[in-house]
């Protein structure tokens, strides 16, 4: 009886991933969005956060795709420069136009390569950096990074890794939600509100 209940539960859980599989079979370049069932809880939590919380969360979580890009393209600095510029912008050390140039340069790098997973990683980093401008850009990080995982592993083998990454997003969001007000950091005036 217990096995049957588990299988029924698992079948319902697998159904939450059907939209991702459908997008992949249609040839979409981004496999997750606001309607992705597996991201529902994370999206609800993200939408209720302070802008500063999302900036810190995005800049931290973007380190994982950035590290993969650094290993695969050791001479390419544009994604790392985008995150550095975003951090400087968040602190008020530079203005938006300078940060925007760095972020757009990172996205331009994605147009120069053919690997779908790496293209998604670059956009994940760019979206994370853009979170300084608008908190809603934070959603682009999981949309693109999870897409890269699916492209790397294949739709049939990626579910455990996707679930683990979503759990990590949740855990780090909880951390930043609980610690943002005690963070000793200089903020740009628009983030100090």
Condensed to tens digits (0 to 9), the pLDDT of residues 140-150 reads 999 999 999 99
Q: Which helix (H) or strand (E) holds 72?
A: helix 63-72
Q: How many CA atoms lie within 13 A of 57 on its CB side?
A: 32
How does pLDDT run across 110-151, given as a tens digit for each residue? 999 999 999 999 999 999 999 999 999 999 999 999 999 999
95 class by beta-carbon count within 10 Å (0-12 exposed, 13-18 middle, 19+ buried): exposed
Q: Would you tell me how many other CB atoms lie within 10 Å of the CB of residue 26? A: 8
Token readout for 156 is 């049939």
CA distance 47 to 132: 15
Question: Is the entire prediction scored with pTM above 0.85?
Answer: yes
CB 83 within 8 A of CB 129: yes
């Amino acid at each position: 009886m217990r096995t049957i209940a588990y299988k029924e539960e698992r079948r319902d859980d697998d159904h939450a991933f059907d939209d991702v599989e459908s997008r992949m079979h249609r040839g979409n370049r981004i496999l997750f969005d606001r309607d992705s069932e597996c991201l529902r809880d994370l999206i609800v939590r993200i939408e209720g956060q302070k802008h500063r919380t999302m900036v810190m969360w995005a800049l931290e979580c973007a380190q994982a795709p950035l590290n993969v890009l650094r290993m695969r393209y050791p001479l390419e600095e544009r994604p790392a420069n985008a995150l550095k510029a975003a951090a400087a912008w968040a602190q008020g050390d530079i203005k938006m136009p300078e940060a925007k140039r760095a972020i757009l340069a990172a996205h331009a790098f994605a147009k120069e390569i053919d690997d779908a997973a790496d293209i998604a990683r670059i956009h994940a980093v760019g979206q994370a950096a853009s979170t300084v401008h608008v908190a809603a850009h934070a959603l682009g990080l999981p949309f693109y990074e999870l897409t890269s995982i699916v492209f790397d592993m294949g739709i049939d083998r990626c579910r455990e890794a996707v679930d683990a990454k979503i759990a990590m997003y949740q855990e780090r969001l909880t951390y930043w939600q609980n610690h943002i007000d005690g963070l000793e950091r200089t903020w740009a005036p628009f983030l100090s509100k």
